Structure 1
């Protein structure tokens, strides 16, 4: 297991990077270039012309970081053993708490999968074919838990989560 500073650094880095990128959520690079002169260099409120970012204020991170924290909470609850039911419980609790469905806070793949789960259906049709990158952003903190020599254990954990 890595040092606490490494883990916290990863969590802070994710939250800060997510909050800085929030105003451009789901936008193509050309739109970012037009709206923000190509880059965002400080925390900004979400803008009225971004259907997702409109729900956030400067410095707030998005569903990706919130779901990363939910994953970690689920792993902590179950002694670092991934369990689908516990993972779903934590992610759904977060989504319900923030009104994720009503406030358009979820990314498209997450929203589709969680809606199916909420309706008692299997989300595999969405999770097997998702075209967004939220999964990669949510799993990043798991990498901070392992030393480089523990790559096989890391891959197993990522796959299980």
Structure 2
């Protein structure tokens, strides 16, 4: 297996692991996780009945990974091009898969109704200049695969992330968070890249994503994703070497919930605290509490691409593929082929 395929497959698998493993711990605090499960969760298990993922089996993913995977499939069909039409096709096809769309958040749900031509009852939010509650992690959760398609091209990853997400999350903060995840994943696809360089790419993505989104998206009054990533990096740095303390500090200072300005910075804090180790980073995301499956999925794309498939337990590859009917290996090869063609075209254009 080539290094690039290993990185692509690693990104997909780690994201799926983070989602499936985090589905069992979502909404709980770290202390509640330890009390309920008898310790930290470090395996994929059946989600309890009091979680959003109740009724699903161990190894099944939620909306987080599934919508990013459906998006990747549509991008492959389009020859690697990310357009609004591709984004719409992915969203519509995903909405027809009830095992995943039942997790659909309010922002995406309303967008789907509008796209389908269904009547969306007017609410008090419609007259508001800034709908701050929509600055959520629903955009960042689905763009990790964008980074895989744009291996090494951070700026293209930022632009594509905005295109993919704007149809549902038309605000500056959500798009800034999405750009951060896509940019970091794209950088992680480079050979011999360090976790420090990947985090720096994420900070750049948050900043550039915000500036580009300001030109086309609605404003929202929230904390800066970029500034909060910097804060999370500081917390992670001073707690390196103490996994549990780092997790608790990040949870209490940064949070890990629905807002993009929480979930995205938390992901980068975990990477720093664990020095880019894929499984340790995933374990931290899964056990830090709150929106664990979403943060696990986002950070999984980054550290999975950084470390490659060899840093992940292969038992999960077969489990994820079997339980969801996803061909992670097949789509990884397809993306690699698209990247080969893109490189050939670029070389041909220079001759």
| C-alpha distance after superposition, 1:1-33 (max 9, x if no partner) | x82221111001101111100113344556445
Distance 1:111 1:14 in 2: 23
Q: 1:68 to 1:29 in 2, by over 3 A?
A: same
Please tell me whether the aligned partners of residues 44 and 59 of structure 2 are also in contact (alpha carbons under 8 angstroms): yes
Q: Which moved more, 1:69-78 or 1:7-16?
A: 69-78
Q: Specify the alignment match of 1:153 in structure 2.
A: 156
Question: Aligned in 2, Cα 1:28/1:109: closer, same or farther, shift over 3 Å?
Answer: farther
Tell me, what secondary structure is at the counterpart of 2:75? helix
Q: Quote the Cα distance in structure 1 between the aligned partners of 2:17 and 2:163.
A: 27
The superposition leaves residues 99-143 of structure 1 with CA deviations (integer Å, 9 ceiling, x where unpaired) of: 556xx3223432332233234479xx7x98524313212111211
Counterpart of 1:143 in structure 2 is 147
Render the CA deviation track for 1:75-120: whole Å, top value 9, x for unaligned. 112222222233222222222132556xx32234323322332344
* Separation in 2, partners of 1:86, 1:145: 14
Please, what TM-score do these two structures have when normalized by structure 2? 0.39
Root-mean-square deviation (Å)? 2.9
Aligned to 2:53: 53
Q: Tell whether 2:44 aligns with 1:43.
A: yes
> Aligned runs of 1:1-161 on 2, under 5 Å?
3-27=4-28, 29=30, 31-36=32-37, 39-50=40-51, 52-98=52-98, 104-120=102-118, 130-148=134-152, 150-161=153-164
Q: Tell me the SS of whatever aligns to 1:60.
A: coil
8 Å CA contact 1:55–1:105 kept in 2: the answer is no
- The verdict on how the C-alpha distance between 1:99 and 1:9 changes in structure 2, with shifts beyond 3 A counting, is closer
Output the CA distance in 2 between the equivalents of 1:89 and 1:157: 15
In the other structure, the counterpart of 2:180 is none
> Distance between the aligned counterparts of 1:12 and 1:66, measured in 2?
12
Instruction: Could you tell me which runs of 5 or more consecutive residues in structure 2 were left unpaired when the two chains were aligned.
Output: 121-125, 165-351
Per-residue Cα deviation, 1:53-88 (whole angstroms, up to 9, x for no partner): 113111111111110111112211222222223322
Counterpart CA distance in 2 for 1:108 and 1:30 is 28
How far apart, in 1, do the equivalents of 2:58 and 2:66 lie?
16
CA deviation digits over 1:22-57, x for unaligned, max 9?
Answer: 11334455644553456321111121112x211311
Of the two, which has the highest radius of gyration? 2
* Structure 1 residue runs without a partner (length 5+): none
Instruction: Check the 8 A contact 1:109/1:131 in 2, yes or no.
Output: no
Alignment partners' CA distance in 2, 1:92 and 1:34: 40
